[in-house]
Structure 1
């Protein structure tokens, strides 16, 4: 597989080749696989992570941008998941305060709501009681406030789009915003790499390697960009491919009996609806949804729809959009202007198949040791969510180390609960102080404050390496798409390839930059990025046209679905 390029992070992401035997191979580069790899490397195991597309390109990037304790799971009496989620929410705030920040949410109640406002208040009180230590060791300017009641008049002043008829008020409580999930995932992956892990994207596991005894001894991987296949030997293999876990198991899926229930989640990305706090409300049709202000825009969703077949085929349909519009309009003062919808996000959640519908299914995770089905050396993880992925990684390693003690080398202790992720600013006492320090770095470069803050937010201490690229080539300070409020600059494109393993236009636009997450991307911006990528990746003119054309076609198909809804 091709070398990633220069730079310590870059060399360790792909390296010139993958040779020898690993202690642990992890299938899947979403947040679950990344956290498993982080904990394996943290324990000192020689670890390789393999991702079929790009890190975080599936469900992990299609979120409501929230790190939350799961308030609504109290309704299902899933207290264990709530308690774990609340603890993990705090750990993420400590680990990555530049990417995880407080967000107030308003739990709106109508006279016809079920449960009624007093019961909702009791639930919020219990929720906060379960998070009594939520501010311990958290930087002072991103600490959570106590919950309180917001009356109807105050609520309407804050959320002008709510339907006033029958509105009672709302319970305001603090949860947490996952500002850029794609960047947070890369930061956690950077932590794994710092501890010695290898990660390879665009590497599809096409077979599991087995000994005559039946033990799995690694994987066969297809290089989806360079072509050719590679055998990667590993003492233990963990399948964390999310909605694709059955596909990764291949013919063994029937043998080990793993079944995943797939829930499609669709969000609408709209122009700013005017509220500064998130709103969580149940529509008259019984569906809950969240309206979350984000980056000068608003996210509405998600849906929670059972689907079958391959997760690759999950796309936003007119029915998905109509369901969200019906739910929103039922509690809105006026129907949502269809022209306000700029884009959609779609992801597939891999839920534990517990017999319940997708909405009430637990968000817990399960770890399967396939030695119990006659296939030793192989584990599969299903379920879970962004917030609890660290705990998942920790518990997967606990189980692997216990079951496979005879086959793995001695390990060191590793506790990630209070460890910063790669690029975290460390102990400045407050996030404001950290950003102020970033603004004072290398003032002679003449970079506007808005771009400096943008880089500090996305990269933490790593923004210094982006600034160094600008020092070497001042033209890299150029903004890519200022017309839509995007603060990305060309230096980030170079950094994304040379230091973060980006290999396609979509890798860069959607997950190394913020550009692709903010709605429609203009052809001019795409071509500017593609031209910057061309010398870095050795593209020919036809390669550039192919990458730009594919992105535009996908974007046009999404817009056609949006515009088909009246």
Structure 2
């Protein structure tokens, strides 16, 4: 996967995708596999915004049954199975415990009815070759068994519990990257840090875009017969570059997550609800608890979004109120992250409860406005991105006035996903690379899947590249070099947060970050000033907002 904007500027594409999150990545993969000449540009890094900020769940959306969105739930459950199939190194079954309290909106009969329907809608969940990926059926739990599984639950008012199964992503950022890698392997041209600054037209038809290379600084034009706006929370603002009032305005919802010490058993996730209809997930992730989420309307420019002190305090308060045994304080927060979720808002003056709003998507053909060659994609969820991409590419063929090629992505496997049985694959790799620590090989299999050999080959080129960058983590220097050489990492943040997990559990320590910075500096030719600025930007990500404000005030 190589970045070459100058070469891209000499081409004319069938399809240009603006936006390098999961939606854009899946569209690029689908289109390239169907044989369309495809390009994708992203103004920051791939998976640098919404797609890097989910709850890391691949799920059917149990709560959407309350809204009678049976079609969305069925679509999500089907796509959950496809993701297990095409990305076995990234997606695994995870048990969820849902306790039922006397004052909760979810009484045992309602839970049992809802879960029975959820089970029926996921009738194909065991249609997988790998038995380890087949999700078991749900089963009710007695009050005693519920407390045995999670002793920290408040016993007062507890009636019973329910154990069901959905899936967990190892790394949303790397899963998005796997789709992009697969698109590149199928012939798509990709570039991060390429910001669209305008649209080019001939009459009412769009013919391309102008953009700025945010790495080199050059201004360029890209030509394309069809353009897809997959810019997520920026979708309506991108349309504003045409100096026209967008036909669709966005409601933006912000969601916040924190990672803390383990506050619940790590062999299952915990789904909590209360009488006010609030929801809380406590998810086991890399030996810690991932807690989320808040879901509130965001007003303002998406470029200005950040996690605030109030956001973190709100989530801590919500967690302690719904799960008193947590007893969390700000000192327990190892890491925090957040993102914006776009929701279609047909009337800009109408206020919508962002949590209760649907996760459905809209694919909007601007032909209705007399603009040919532009399609906008708004909304949706990570789990259903593959199917959304299928619908978008079908519309692209309509715009191109070409016979539609069949969608191949149900059967295809993404980059790194060509694995029949995952645990057998890991064992085989550990035997093959028996001179290295089994824990290292297991870690690399999880992150890179079938491409694990390529990372290990990089690691063999110099002493120390397969040694952990931090004594508490598995990430190694070879991953940093591989990120630069093969995965288009341009900044230290790209490598630390989106190509590896070095920074996704919080600050890995100055020594680890400096080792990573040294490797990137040597590879990319950074001088000491550039290296220092890259380190400073990454370290700033680990500072809790309140502490950052205090530091600025003292300065």
TM-score, with normalisation over the residues of structure 2?
0.94
CA distance in 2, matches of 1:253, 1:95: 41
Query: Offset of 1:286 from its aligned partner?
Result: 3.2
Q: 1:198 to 1:48 in 2, by over 3 A?
A: same
Post-superposition CA distance 1:434-471 (Å, at most 9, x none): 1111112233xx32111111001110110101111122
* 2:363 corresponds to: 367
* 2:540 corresponds to: 553
CA distance in 2, matches of 1:146, 1:370: 44
8 Å CA contact retained: 1:344, 1:558: no
Moved more, 472-481 or 411-420: 411-420
Match of 1:495 among 462, 465, 482: 482
Post-superposition CA distance 1:492-543 (Å, at most 9, x none): 0110000000000000000111111112232221111000101211101110
Q: 1:253 to 1:120 in 2, by over 3 A?
A: farther
Q: Trace 1:257-272 onto structure 2 (pairs within 5 A).
A: 257-272=247-262
Post-superposition CA distance 1:149-191 (Å, at most 9, x none): 1222222222233211111222111100011111111111111
* 2:127 corresponds to: 136
Matched, 1:61 2:57: no
Q: Trace 1:299-338 onto structure 2 (pairs within 5 A).
A: 299-338=290-329
Q: 1:61 to 1:33 in 2, by over 3 A?
A: same
Match of 1:215 among 185, 194, 205: 205
* 1:4 corresponds to: none
Match of 1:351 among 320, 343, 346: 343
CA distance in 1, matches of 2:233, 2:547: 26
Match of 1:122 among 113, 120, 123: 113
8 Å CA contact retained: 1:44, 1:411: no
Query: Offset of 1:331 from its aligned partner?
Result: 3.0
* 2:412 corresponds to: 419
CA distance in 1, matches of 2:150, 2:242: 52
8 Å CA contact retained: 1:45, 1:411: no
* 2:502 corresponds to: 515
Query: Offset of 1:320 from its aligned partner?
Result: 2.0
Gaps of 5+ in 1: 1-9
Gaps of 5+ in 2: none
Match of 1:457 among 446, 453, 456: 446
8 Å CA contact retained: 1:284, 1:330: no
Moved more, 110-119 or 516-525: 516-525
8 Å CA contact retained: 1:260, 1:353: yes
8 Å CA contact retained: 2:481, 2:523: yes
* 1:167 corresponds to: 158
Query: Offset of 1:374 from its aligned partner?
Result: 1.8
Matched, 1:400 2:391: no
CA distance in 1, matches of 2:549, 2:134: 38
Match of 1:180 among 171, 188, 212: 171
CA distance in 2, matches of 1:228, 1:139: 48
CA distance in 2, matches of 1:68, 1:163: 26
Match of 1:340 among 314, 329, 332: 332
* 1:70 corresponds to: 61
CA distance in 2, matches of 1:144, 1:79: 20
SS in 2 for 1:133: coil
* 1:6 corresponds to: none
Query: Offset of 1:559 from its aligned partner?
Result: 6.3
8 Å CA contact retained: 1:490, 1:529: yes
CA distance in 1, matches of 2:516, 2:148: 41
CA distance in 2, matches of 1:83, 1:524: 47
SS in 1 for 2:547: helix
TM-score, with normalisation over the residues of structure 1?
0.93
CA distance in 1, matches of 2:497, 2:219: 27
SS in 1 for 2:208: strand
CA distance in 2, matches of 1:125, 1:475: 53
Q: How many residues align?
A: 544
Q: 1:146 to 1:489 in 2, by over 3 A?
A: same
* 1:7 corresponds to: none
Match of 2:422 among 408, 414, 431: 431
Matched, 1:155 2:155: no
* 1:3 corresponds to: none
Match of 1:473 among 433, 446, 462: 462
